[in-house]
Structure 1
Amino acid sequence: MNARSHAPSLLAALAAALIASTVHAQAPTPTPPPAPGEFESCMNSLRAPARAVGVSDATFTQHRQGLQPDMSVIDKLNFQPEFRTAIWDYLAGLVDDQRVAEGQALLAQHADTLRRVQERYGVDPATVVAVWGVESNFGQTFGKSPLVQSLGTLSCFGRRQAYFRTEFYATLRILQAGHITADRLVGSWAGAFGHTQFMPSTFERLAVDFDGDGRADLMDSTPDALASTANFLAKAGWQSGQPWGFEVKLPQGLNTSGEGRRTKRTMDDWAARGVKRVDGSALPPSGSAGLLTPAGPQGPAFLVLRNFDAIYSYNAAESYGLAIAHLADRLRGGGPFVTPWPTDDPGLSRAERREVQTLLIARGHDIGEVDGMLGEKSRVAIRAEQQRLGQEASGRAGQKLLKALRGG
C-alpha cells in the first residue's frame, strides 16, 4: 500500500464491487466465533505493547471494557472477489452529473475555507473537493464500523495482524488525545474514517486543526477534513499551480508498451513522437510526464504529471487517481473526456443505476432498496432480464440493458 496504507476508499471500493460483471468469487463460510477467552487473552497481550507506544493503561482499560470481537470483519478481510470492472463503469459511477453539481455547490459554500486551505498548503479547491466527493460522497457515506471494535478484532484474528495493531494503537491515541469521541469514531471495516477516509496512523501524521478548536476532527469538522486532505497531498509532493495532466491524442501506430505513470518522458520527447493535446494544440514547452492508457491505446489517453502521482499516493490505484483528477476538472467546468471509451455499451451513472433497479422491481424482481448499488440481488435480476432480452447474461448493467428495459 502507499502512504495511506489501507484498502480502497469506501465509495471507490463500492463503485468497483457493485457494478462488477460476471466473475466474482463465492463469499466464504462465515468465520466462526473465537474460542471462549481467546479474544480476552489477545486483548490482554496487547496492553503492554500499547503502553510502549503511548497508550495509557487508563485509556486501554476504558476502551477495552465490554469490547467484543466482530468476526464479520474477518469475512471481509478474507473475501477478495475477482471482479472485472471496466474503467468506463468505474468512472461512470464516481464522476457523474449529480456529483459534479453537488461538488460545485460545495465549492461555493466553502469558498472561504478552501481559499485559506489553498493559501496554506498550495492545493487548489477543486482537487480537495474531488477527494472529498470520491472518498465519502461529500460526507454522506462514512461507514458504520466502530474503529475500536473492528481494528481490535483485526488485531487478534486473520491476516496482517501486525499492521492492524499499529492502527488499533493509533485509534486509542486519537481517543486519548480527545480529537474525536469513541461513539463518533466509526468508518470502514478496515479502519478508514472521516470525510476523506484517513487511516488512524495517517490521521496522526497529517490531520490538522484548521477550525481552531484545539482538536483535529475529520468526522464533524469540514474545515479540518479539507485542510487535512490538502496537507496530505502537499506532503505527497503536490506542485502548486501545476495540472495533474491532460488528455492527449496519440498518433496512429504509436507503441505504448512499457509506458505508464512511472515512465516519465520530457514533453519534447512526447511531441517528437507525435503526441498532441486532445484539441490538437501543442504540448507544454517543458516538464515531463508519463502516458496513461487505462483502456488501451484505442481509448482515452493521458499525459500525467507529478500531481497525478500525489493523488495516486492517496489510494494506490490509477483508476482511483483518474477519478479524482477527472472530477476535479469537471468541478472547474471541464467536460467529459473527448475520446470515447472503446465500448459499444458505456457505463451507467448513479441515477441510471437507480433507474435500472426501479425497472427491475417493476418487472417483479425482489432486489431490495433502490440505492444505485447493484449488489448480488440486482445482478441476479439483471441476468434474468438479459436472458429474457436475448443479451449475454453477464449480470453487468450498461446502457444497452437500460435502453432495453425502458422499452419494455
Structure 2
Amino acid sequence: MHSLNPRYLPIFLARFLLLLGVVAGLTAPASAASVDDQFRAWLQNDLWPEAKAKGISQATFKAAFDGVRPNLKLPDLVLPGEKPKTPKKQHQAEFGSPGAYFAEKIVGAVSSGGRARAGKYTATLSQIEKRYGVPAPILLAIWGRESGFGTAKMPYDAFEVLGTKAFLATRKDMFREELLAALEIVQRGLAPVGAMKSSWAGALGQPQFMPTSFLKHAVDFDGDGKTDIWNSVPDILASIANYLTQYGWVKGRGWGYEVTVPESVSCSLEGPDRGKPIAEWAKLGIKRVGGKAFPASEQKAEGFLMMPAGRNGPAFLATPNFYVLKEYNTSDLYALFIGLAADRIAQGDHRFSADWGAVGGLYRSDIAALQRALEKKGYDVGSADGLPGFKTRRSIGEWQAKNGRAATCYPDTALVQAVK
C-alpha cells in the first residue's frame, strides 16, 4: 500500500470535497432556485420542440410562460432528487360513510341555486335542451356543483398549474397533453392567455373542463364569436350539455330511481355490465321508493343495479345516463349527487329515503390490500387501486356468499382481515 505524500494532501482534499458536492447535488432535493432553472431548461429544450411541431407559435409559447415559475405548493409533485411519497393517511369520501358526500348544506345550496337560475335562464335552458336533449336540472346541478354557479374563484394561472404538473407531477404525461391543449386554445384564438384561469388541478372555467375537454366540447352558444366558459352563461350551460351528449346522453330518460332491493336479490348483481330490462328487475321484487310504478316507457329499457354502499345504504336502478354523468366525474357518489340535486331542482325538497350506514374507517391502502387478496382468490375487482368500485363491491358480495356470510358488498375492517 502506498501512503499519500503530504504535499498532495490539500489537492486531494479539494478534489474529495468537490466530489462530495457533485454527489450531493445529484441526490439531494433541488432548491427552489435550481427547480426554476430546470423548469426553464425543460420548457425550452423539451416542451417547446413538441409545441412547435403541433403548430404553436413562439409568440404564443412565450406569452403563456412569461413570468411563470413552478408552483411547488401544488399536490402530487415529485421534486428532482426525491422519490414519490405515499401518504400515511388517505381520506376520500368513499372511505367514510358516503352520506357525508350529501351534506344538506351542499346539496341544498346547489338545488336552491339551481331553482333560482332555472327561472332566470328559462329561455336559454329551453333552447339548449331542444338542441342537445339534456334536461335543464341536470345542467344546473353540474354548474352548481362544479363552480357554485360561477361564485367559486379560479385563482390559478393555467400555464403555471399545468406547466408545474407536466414537469413535476406523478402523472406527467397526462398533464403534458393538457398543457399542449391549453397552448392550442390560445393559439387558435379561443381564449387569450390572460383569461386562462383554472383550478389547482388545471380545470378551466365554470364547467371545470380540462383543456382537452374544452377543445372537444366547449361551444359558442350565445353567438358572439367566442367560446367563453368563464363568463358566458349560455356558453357554460351549452358546453356542459354538449359534453354529456357526446358521451351518449339518452334523450328522454332520467338518471335513475331510488329503489328497495329484497334480500332475495344479491347485491353482487350490481354493475353496468349486468343490466336487465327494468321490467325484469321489477319481477325480482325491486320497487321504486315511494310506491310509484316504473314509467311504462321504461319497462323495456335497460336498467342497472347500483348500490354504492352495498347493503349499508340506498340502492338505485340507474339508466345509461347515470354512467354518462360518471364521464364528467368518475365517482359514483358524484353522479348520484348530480341526480339528487337535479331531482330537487325539478321537484322541490327530495331526499334519499334510506340512510347511509356507519361504514368506513378504512384507508385506501386497506382497500388495496383487500383487492389484492380477492384477486389472488380469482375475483375480478377491476384493479387493486384502493377504490371500492362496483367490481370490488360485488366481488366482496360473492366472496361473502361463498363463505357463508351475509352479503353486504362493502368493505370493512373485519372483512379485510377475514379475506387475508
TM-score, normalized by length of structure 1?
0.72
Q: Is the CA contact (8 Å cut-off) linking 1:95 and 1:326 kept in structure 2?
A: no
Q: Is the CA contact (8 Å cut-off) linking 1:267 and 1:288 kept in structure 2?
A: yes
Partner of 1:359: none
What secondary structure, in the 3-state scheme, does the structure 1 residue paired with 2:242 have?
A: helix
Tell me, in whole angstroms, the C-alpha distance in 2 between the residues paired with 1:171 and 1:59.
11
What secondary structure, in the 3-state scheme, does the structure 2 residue paired with 1:169 have?
A: helix
Gaps of 5+ in 1: 1-29, 346-408
Instruction: Give matches, 1:144-223, under 5 Å.
Output: 144-223=155-234
Partner of 1:328: 342
What secondary structure, in the 3-state scheme, does the structure 1 residue paired with 2:303 have?
A: strand
Q: Is the CA contact (8 Å cut-off) linking 1:312 and 1:321 kept in structure 2?
A: yes
Q: Is the CA contact (8 Å cut-off) linking 1:142 and 1:195 kept in structure 2?
A: no
Counterpart code for 1:58: A
CA drift at 1:54: 2.4
Q: Which moved more, 1:322-331 or 1:61-70?
A: 61-70
Tell me, in whole angstroms, the C-alpha distance in 2 between the residues paired with 1:36 and 1:91.
42
CA drift at 1:32: 5.0
**1:308-355 deviation line (CA, Å, top 9, x unaligned):** 11111111111000001111000001543352314479xxxxxxxxxx
Compared with structure 1, are the counterparts of its residues 40 and 245 closer, same or farther at alpha carbon in structure 2 (3 Å cutoff)?
A: same
Partner of 1:102: 113
Q: Percent of aligned positions with the same letter in both sequences?
A: 35
Tell me, in whole angstroms, the C-alpha distance in 2 between the residues paired with 1:321 and 1:36.
40
Partner of 2:259: 248
Instruction: Give matches, 1:6-405, under 5 Å.
Output: 33=32, 34-35=34-35, 37-44=37-44, 45-75=46-76, 82-83=90-91, 84-92=95-103, 95-283=106-294, 284-343=298-357
Q: Is the CA contact (8 Å cut-off) linking 2:129 and 2:136 kept in structure 1?
A: yes
Tell me, in whole angstroms, the C-alpha distance in 2 between the residues paired with 1:320 and 1:262.
20
Answer with 1 or 2: which has the greater Rg. 2
Q: Is the CA contact (8 Å cut-off) linking 2:256 and 2:322 kept in structure 1?
A: yes
Compared with structure 1, are the counterparts of its residues 337 and 294 closer, same or farther at alpha carbon in structure 2 (3 Å cutoff)?
A: farther
CA RMSD of aligned residues (A): 2.2
Counterpart code for 1:226: L
Tell me, in whole angstroms, the C-alpha distance in 2 between the residues paired with 1:313 and 1:289.
18
Q: Which moved more, 1:246-255 or 1:270-279?
A: 246-255
Which one scores higher on RCO, CA 8 angstroms, separation ≥ 6? Answer: 1
Gaps of 5+ in 2: 1-28, 79-84, 360-420
Q: Which moved more, 1:83-92 or 1:279-288?
A: 279-288
Tell me, in whole angstroms, the C-alpha distance in 2 between the residues paired with 1:200 and 1:31.
30
Tell me, in whole angstroms, the C-alpha distance in 2 between the residues paired with 1:88 and 1:208.
35
Tell me, in whole angstroms, the C-alpha distance in 1 between the residues paired with 2:284 and 2:38.
63
Tell me, in whole angstroms, the C-alpha distance in 1 between the residues paired with 2:282 and 2:182.
49
Q: Is the CA contact (8 Å cut-off) linking 1:31 and 1:71 kept in structure 2?
A: no
Counterpart code for 2:90: E
TM-score, normalized by length of structure 2?
0.70
What secondary structure, in the 3-state scheme, does the structure 1 residue paired with 2:194 have?
A: coil
Q: Which moved more, 1:147-156 or 1:282-291?
A: 282-291
Q: Which moved more, 1:95-104 or 1:50-59?
A: 95-104
Tell me, in whole angstroms, the C-alpha distance in 2 between the residues paired with 1:94 and 1:326.
14
**1:54-107 deviation line (CA, Å, top 9, x unaligned):** 211221122223221111125568686511332111011575333221110011
Compared with structure 1, are the counterparts of its residues 32 and 315 closer, same or farther at alpha carbon in structure 2 (3 Å cutoff)?
A: farther
Tell me, in whole angstroms, the C-alpha distance in 1 between the residues paired with 2:309 and 2:30.
38
CA drift at 1:190: 1.7
Structure ranking higher in helix proportion? 2
**1:122-147 deviation line (CA, Å, top 9, x unaligned):** 11111111110111111111431110
Tell me, in whole angstroms, the C-alpha distance in 1 between the residues paired with 2:240 and 2:222.
14
CA drift at 1:204: 0.4
Counterpart code for 2:278: M
Number of residue pairs the alignment of both structures matches: 316
Tell me, in whole angstroms, the C-alpha distance in 2 between the residues paired with 1:111 and 1:130.
15
